[in-house]
Structure 1
Amino acid sequence: MGNWLPQLTSINDPIADDFWSYETDEGVQRVVRVTIGRPTPIPGDPNGDWYCPLRIEHRAPEILCMVGVGPVDALGNAMRVVSEHFQELRKVSPRARPLVQSP
């Protein structure tokens, strides 16, 4: 059985976009961009299920499509992944400023 979810390369309709900082096990501060897209019906799904695109930059290799039985369920599942992901890390802080690389 193939993957029936869209293979997204970008989130074109974000509903939430933020930078979060955290500390690695080595004590290095990192900043990642967290983007959640608008819940969307799964094309051609006979059950009428929805997906919500999610990207945690530098922590997941691709955009994840979190599935739910409706838009609120799909959004809730995306938020649960974000929450669980950052509970595994130390010194997490939303509204971080992106790190600026020195020239």
Structure 2
Amino acid sequence: MSEKPVRVRLWWRTNPLLPPLPKGYKLSRPARFGHQGEDWLRDAWSLSIEIQEERNEAGDQFALARFSAPDAPHEWLAPGGRFALFDGATVLAEGEIINP
């Protein structure tokens, strides 16, 4: 996994009737970053996510994120960066990097 995790804000795009992920839940999914084009799968990287807080009233959820691979482009995890987490062709969540 990558060096140091970064704090992220997540907006889930899945069914709002499903229960939110609990604090401590971990998942790893392919991520498309804001600067990547339509051919993003040629340079795709997975993020490992650990939920840190329950979902708030606005629907946001805060988590820690890091790349799953040690040779990943860690500079992509800069504050203000945006990404989307995928399950196949479905966007599970959109995220923003809060701080390193």
Output the TM-score relative to the length of structure 1.
Answer: 0.29
Tell me which structure has the larger Cα radius of gyration.
1
TM-score, structure 2 normalization: 0.29
